[in-house]
Structure 1
Amino acid sequence: MSLLVHRVGGGSRLRVPLPSRTLLYLPGTAFTLDAAIVVLATLAAVVGRERWHLLSAGAGLTEQMGHAGPLLVAGWLGAIWLAGGYATSLFDAGTDEFRRVARATFATAAAVGIGAFLLDLPLSRDFFVLAFGLGVPALLCGRLALRRAVQRARRHGALSHSVLIAGLPGSIDEVATVLGRESGLGYRVVGALTPTVSVTDTACGVPVLGLCTDVVEQVRRSGADVVFFASGGVSSSVEMRRLAWDLEREGVQVIVAPSVSDVSGERVHVRPVGGLPLIHIDPTGTIDAVRWGKRLFDVLGAAALILALSPVLVVAALRIRAHDGGPVLFRQVRIGRDGRAFPCLKLRTMVVDAEAHLARLHAETGHAEGLFKMAGDPRITRPGAFLRRFSIDELPQLFNVLRGEMSLVGPRPPLPTEVATYDDITSRRLNVRPGMTGLWQVSGRSDLSWSEAVRLDLFYVDNWSMFRDLSILAKTFGAVVGSRGAY
């Protein structure tokens, strides 16, 4: 990635990354990948139909596909292109890319099926089912692999966008914090523009390069290819339209960042009314998260896991008992849904008098808020270290799930001392049952700061969905095996 050097203010030299030219090849790369997958799916369907005759029997298909095959491949790829599957804005984040590819594929399948029926063409059902049955998951997996490769490259500084943020200093820092946290998006903030230049840097250290009204000039000087307009970035819709026109001539992407954060894409809908784009935010999923569907899933899932993991629980219990003769279970009061206290069950991983050493460790580490965790905790026993590494010590909480005190997925169960310090915002964590796992577990566990753990829990509460629960459960396996943040 090349660098641009220019002077700022009184002559200091600022080195900023230019946008990667490789970004221009992403749509072409996606097209090439899709083309290879579609061709392979078509060939696999031909071979599979000739060998297996699963749904229909008849003459060979190979000769017919000599003419129909290229038409199918071209039509399939054309449908993805018409659906916007190669738009440059798709390769950053969100599920829109996958929806467009899947929608185009299903449209192609519908067109092929209806066309064969209307024209009375001898379409093989085996071929039809195999081609699109293989094509849909293969295309989605290919796009997912491409996105993962792009995200890895961006975390290493490649394939990045150079970003200017225009707005009030506080709003600039909010946007810059999110972009810094989501490094896989590839947005590298090179500077900020404010309504009035009163500071040289924002509180988060983003350099202020000039005024919001000078955005076109600053784009030319910095080489930025993306401009975020945060709160206070423009004074009126007329000015916003004029700046958008000016930046369009510079080939710069314009993004408006509303004063809304930690809202999932499923809850946000943009509906233009009279030329005014209105952002609609659907109600939170908190009510859905406590209904019978989630509860049924918890009961069945916990019961199945207890049966499957009972040998592990027995072996762990015997190992704890043999080590020091102390109790196998550790019961600790935690706060659940609506502020109700309950005994949270764990396999004991510390010495019997662990609580007596807590005040001393607080003083030594300077612990002030949240659940106390420290690497190399001297209270952890030898078998306890292994149990913690792979989260085996938390398996008894499956019985808490059965009793309705916890859920398989949810916010981390807090201590009464934590809840006593909650403000009105943090108290929203108590609107749902706490979980054995959650966003906090798959995002770093004990490596997270207190504020980041709270942010993730609140995001979960406000944006719950069953699909998100299943996704978190799938990611939990990787987090447990990797042992990241487990101590």
Structure 2
Amino acid sequence: MSENPTSIPIYVDRKNRGRDWRGVYAARLVITDLLVLIWVVFGVQILWFGLDTADLAFRGNARDLEVNYTSVSVMLIVAWMAMLGAYGTRGYRVLGTGADEYKLIANASFRLFGLLAISAFLLQIDVARGYILIALPLGVVILIFSRWMWRQWLGVQRQRGLFSSTVLLVGSAASATHLARVLRSSTEAGYRVVGACVPSGRVSTFLSTTDVPVFGDFDDLQPALAATGADTVVVTSSDDLPPERIRQLSWALEPGRKHLVVAPSLTGIGGPRIHARPVAGLPLIHVEMPSYEGLKHFAKRAFDIAGSGLLLLLFSPTLVVIALVVRLTSSGPVLYRQERIGLNGEPFNMLKFRSMTVDADSQLASLLEAQGTGNKPLFKVSNDPRLTKVGGFLRRYSLDELLQLLNVFKGDMSLVGPRPQRDGEVALYDSAAHRRLFVKPGMSGLWQVSGRSSLSWEDSIRLDLYYVENWSMAGDLVILWRTLRAVLVPGQDAK
């Protein structure tokens, strides 16, 4: 047994110590969900029926029975709240990050109204269709919006170390260090690392290149939990923890107040591809391989055609204005065509409004060499001197890329996908980076909403590969929403 781990100074949220942040946050969600549903349901009732009394008729073989719509609205709100609770929309595992929270809200709402429709048919209830058809989508949209607002608040609180699970890492030093860095860079996930127990760990030391204190070895787990007040134990690797030891660890945790999480050695895999299946007491994790053909890709292409066509019509006056500005402020052609590499390595001509001088391409090699990045497969120049008078503005707000909607409509690109790169960049790819070419390049992508020009090549390829391996239509919609925010309010990384 190592020396007393309480000698290490750690951060403890004393204001909320003894309070379960999960219950506090869930209670606040209950209140706002209820207020939203009251506003929506009674608002639709007043919109559809006015302030006059309206009744819902039950028509069967017996005499007719009429119920006031105010009573119906109350019952609908109660049932809606019950469905939101039954589907776990306020569970701490879906709060703060990911799309599961929003999906559960939609599923609970649509299934509730499906049950109402079946009941109305079987019981021969003359329900006002407009009342239902307005209340359902409006309620779902406003519920999701209110949860999104709460998520913004929660993100700020978690950056301060509040409303988060306090985590004690248990495993090898290397795996604990890696997971500590990941969780520190993803505060929105709600895991605040307060310590670690590693083999042969010495108290008063820290994990390599981090400020996470080490509380000794695995035998020091209980004193470490008491010292830190951690409510979650994360097993970062099982090399030094046999199954029997992990089982004993789970028995030692207080049910309902202490949580056990096992981090498998899987990276870059989205939740929908992971399925756990217990077999003879063993939790087997099934990982589905990504598919690059079929109905999902047909739906993606249909969405690209409809979306790009609509945006071209919407932005046509803007395109004309940008073309005139480019023509009047610099010499040279308005449009810029450049060969990029697309799906399966096939080249295509990508269109942009010209934002640089005419001889920009001939200067690229010398500029990359001057800043020491000529051997990196991400050709970007810091403080680029080739930009025209309006080029910086166009690129900051991504206005120069609007013409790529034509590439999307034609089928060379997609609205969402990996960053389109040049042949010289692709020539520097390793075997992993070549997987970017399994899907069409996109006008936007995870790289666009996660740092843009400030991203390193390693970060860019990690984000692009994650997208290629885990893309979905729901994920595309989230990226497009985040892209709109990034374009309207560009940060320092928008260049």
TM-score scaled by length of structure 1: 0.85
SS in 2 for 1:263: coil
Change (3 A) 1:68 1:377: closer
Report whether the alignment pairs 1:251 with 2:250.
Answer: no
The DSSP-based 3-state class of the residue aligned with 1:456 is helix
Identity among equivalent pairs (%): 39
Question: Which of residues 391, 395, 407 is equivalent to 2:398?
Answer: 391
Q: CA deviation at 1:70?
A: 4.7
Q: What is the CA-CA distance between 1:323 and the residue it aligns to?
A: 3.0
Q: Is the 8 A contact 1:289 1:432 kept in 2?
A: no
Task: Give the aligned length.
Answer: 479
- What does residue 29 of structure 2 align with? 30
Q: 1:334 aligns with which of 340, 344, 350?
A: 340
The residue identity in structure 2 corresponding to 1:255 is: V
- Separation in 2 of the partners of 1:75 and 1:468? 30
Tell me what 1:87 maps to. 91
Whether contact under 8 Å (1:162, 1:189) holds in the other structure is yes
RMSD over aligned CA atoms reads 3.5
**1:63 and 1:376, CA in 2 relative to 1: closer, same or farther beyond 3 A?**
same
Report matched runs for 1:202-221 at 5 Å.
Answer: 202-205=207-210, 206-221=212-227
1:323 aligned residue (314, 325, 329) = 329
Q: 1:41 to 1:373 in 2, by over 3 A?
A: same
Q: CA deviation at 1:256?
A: 1.2
Q: Look up the match of 2:372.
A: 366
For residues 104 and 147 of structure 1, the distance between their equivalents in structure 2, rounded to whole angstroms, comes to 19
The 1:355/1:141 distance shift into structure 2, 3 A limit, reads closer
Query: Which of 353, 361, 364 does residue 359 from structure 2 map onto?
Result: 353
Alignment match, 1:191 = 195
CA distance in 1, matches of 2:79, 2:319: 56
> Do 2:57 and 2:66's aligned partners in 1 also have CA atoms closer than 8 Å?
no
Gaps of 5+ in 1: 1-6
AA of the residue aligned to 2:148: L
- The residue that corresponds to 1:4 in the other structure is none
Give the aligned residue type for 1:139: L
Q: 1-side partners of 2:121 and 2:402: how far apart?
A: 56
Aligned counterparts of 2:5 and 2:349: Cα–Cα separation in 1: 63
Q: Please, which moves more after superposition, 174-183 or 124-133? A: 124-133
Q: Deviations over 1:336-381 (max 9, x none)?
A: 2222333333222222233444344334433352323345322211
Q: Which residue, 413, 417, 423 being the options, matches 2:424?
A: 417
Aligned counterpart, 1:476? 483
CA distance in 2 between counterparts of 1:124 and 1:321 reads 58
Contact 1:164 1:227 in 2 (8 A): yes
Find the residue that maps to 2:284 and give its secondary structure. strand
Quick one: distance in 2 between partners of 1:216 and 1:342?
A: 60
Q: Distance in 1 between matches of 2:134 and 2:441?
A: 43
- Alpha carbons of 1:94 and 1:350: their partners in 2 closer, same or farther (altered >3 Å)? closer
Whether contact under 8 Å (1:330, 1:346) holds in the other structure is: yes
Where does residue 145 of structure 1 map in the other structure?
149
Q: Is residue 46–residue 62 contact of structure 1 (8 Å, CA) maintained in 2?
A: no
Q: Indicate if the aligned counterparts of 2:5 and 2:224 stay in contact, CA closer than 8 A.
A: no
Aligned with 2:157: secondary structure? helix
1:194 and 1:233 in contact (8 A); partners too: no
Distance 2:156 2:336 in 1: 41
Cα 1:57–1:163 shift into 2, 3 Å: closer
Q: CA deviation at 1:461?
A: 0.7
Counterpart-to-counterpart distance in 1, 2:472 and 2:5: 52
CA positional deviation for 1:457: 0.4
Alignment partner of 1:177 out of 159, 175, 181: 181
Return the offset for 1:154.
1.3
Helix, strand or coil at the partner of 2:10: strand
Measured at CA, do residues 420 and 158 of structure 1 come closer, stay the same or move farther in structure 2, by a change above 3 Å?
same
CA-to-partner distance for each residue in 1:52-81, whole Å, 9 max, x for gaps? 99x99989x998356555554444433433
- Out of 279, 286, 294, the residue aligned to residue 280 of structure 1 is 286
Do the aligned partners of 1:285 and 1:461 also contact (CA within 8 Å) in 2? no
Q: Quick one: which amino acid aligns to residue 48 of structure 1?
A: L
Alpha-carbon distance in structure 2 between the residues aligned to 1:74 and 1:56: 19
> Separation in 2 of the partners of 1:374 and 1:127?
57
Instruction: State the shift of 1:455 in Å.
Output: 0.8
- CA spacing shift, 1:80–1:375, aligned 2, 3 Å: same
Give me the whole-angstrom Cα distance separating, in 2, the residues matched to 1:235 and 1:191. Answer: 18
Contact 1:164 1:224 in 2 (8 A): yes
User: Which residue in the other structure is 1:166 paired with?
Assistant: 170
1:56–1:126: 8 Å Cα contact kept in structure 2?
no
* Cα 1:483/1:132, change in 2 over 3 Å: closer
Cα separation, 1, equivalents of 2:90 and 2:42? 24
1:326 and 1:225 map into 2 onto residues whose CA distance is: 63
Give the deviation of 1:10 after TM superposition. Answer: 9.2
* Corresponding position: 1:486 with 2:485: no
Equivalent AA in structure 1 for residue 29 of structure 2: A
Instruction: Report the alpha carbon displacement of residue 462 of structure 1 after superposing the two structures with TM.
Output: 0.7
1:307-348 C-alpha deviation (Å, 9 max, x unpaired): 443443333333333334223333333222222333333222
Greater alpha carbon shift after TM alignment, 360-369 vs 64-73: 64-73
Distance 1:357 1:95, change over 3 A: closer
What is aligned with 1:136? 140
Alpha-carbon distance between aligned partners in 2 of 1:104 and 1:291, rounded to the nearest angstrom: 27
1:67-146 correspondence runs (5 A): 70-110=74-114, 112=116, 125-146=129-150
DSSP 3-state at the match of 2:418? coil
Indicate how the Cα distance of structure 1 residues 233 and 123 shifts in structure 2: closer, same or farther if over 3 A, else same: farther
- Measured against aligned partners, the alpha-carbon deviations of 1:3-58 in whole angstroms (never above 9, x if no partner) come to xxxx98799642223484361311211121222223333422432343299x9998
Matched letter for residue 195 of structure 1: P
TM-aligned CA deviation for residue 235 of structure 1: 2.4
TM-score by length of 2: 0.84
1:267: which partner in 2?
Answer: 273
Contact 2:236 2:264 in 1 (8 A): yes
The answer for unaligned runs of 5 or more in structure 2 is 59-64
| One-letter amino acid of the counterpart of residue 424, structure 1 | S
Which amino acid is the alignment partner of residue 350 of structure 1?
Answer: M
